Amino acid sequence: MSEDIKTMKLYHQVERVFNELQVLGISDDDLIPIETLCQFDQYHYFGTDAVDDAISKLGIHSQMSVLEIGSGIGGPSRYLSHATGCMMTALELQSDLDLIASTLTRRCGLEQSVHHVCGDILQGLRGTPKFDAIVSWLTFLHIADRQRLYNQCFELLKPGAGIYVEDYYERGSLNADERKLLRQDVYCDRVPTISEYQDELSKAGFVNIELSDLSDEWTGFVTGRLESFIMNKQRNIKLHGELTVSGLEHFYTTVVTLFQQANLGGIRVIAYKPE
């Protein structure tokens, strides 16, 4: 894909999280209660409920070392570590997001258990021991070369360890306009079908593959997100500025269009490396 990932407007003005904290009276350098931050730092659907789902499905606990691929500003990794006591490695491609993530983690007092790394999963993670689990939310959609991605994941897991991923899949047959929207507004060049997920994960060596359709829940979530954003538009403009708000509204609208047309779907993937 030739365009930059910053064509996706969710990733503009990511420091807007600090504006939300200011409203609550939390200024620069104040400690941040994680329960407060969780409202603003999750860039996927259903916030910490989705992270709780990963914890329960993979049985994540305090003795585990877990990798999050595409950790954004660090929300899921911080919550995972806070909720279970596990050690997190949070891998993020974009340096501005990674920097904010590290700052927020320090201000939550979690720097001993959440380790931030800026890099591209396709380049691997050098010098790290293998992980007890890998988690990822809405990141694989940015990576067209799934076979290479799954091979990297497989390589990074201990035998018997599992992967939990929430992402997009091709539910109907995406038309040319939808593919253009995905490419231009979501930095997404390829959306596999369910059978492609199954085949490519198997080819990488994964077993006990469980693929669940989340499309209806996600359509409801993204529709509600846009409605509430528009309802609070004036408040949001005052807080974040006109440019940020119009960019987010554009992005949220594209996602609603794609889900409501029902050719784009949501999927949860759970799979294991054999013992």
Ligand X SMILES: C[S@@+](CC[C@H](N)C(=O)[O-])C[C@H]1O[C@@H](n2cnc3c(N)ncnc32)[C@H](O)[C@@H]1O
Q: Which residues bind ligand X (CB under 6 A)?
A: 5, 42-44, 69-72, 75-76, 91-94, 97, 120-122, 137-139, 142-143
Least separation in angstroms between CB 122 and ligand X = 5
- Which of residues 72 and 247 has its CB atom nearest to ligand X in the complex? 72
Least separation in angstroms between CB 138 and ligand X = 4
- Which of residues 86 and 121 has its CB atom nearest to ligand X in the complex? 121
Which of 124, 111, 57 shows the shortest CA–CA distance to 81? 111
Rounded to 10 degrees, what is the CA torsion of 95, 99, 105, 110?
A: 80
DSSP letters for 217-233: HHHHHHHHHHHHHHHTH
- Which of residues 63 and 70 has its CB atom nearest to ligand X in the complex? 70
Cβ–Cβ under 8 Å, residues 161 and 133: yes
Sign of CA dihedral 147, 150, 152, 158: negative
Cβ–Cβ under 8 Å, residues 130 and 160: no
Q: Which residue shows structure tokens 């969710």?
A: 10
Least separation in angstroms between CB 44 and ligand X = 3
- Which of residues 115 and 142 has its CB atom nearest to ligand X in the complex? 142
Least separation in angstroms between CB 200 and ligand X = 16
Least separation in angstroms between CB 121 and ligand X = 4
- Which of residues 17 and 161 has its CB atom nearest to ligand X in the complex? 17
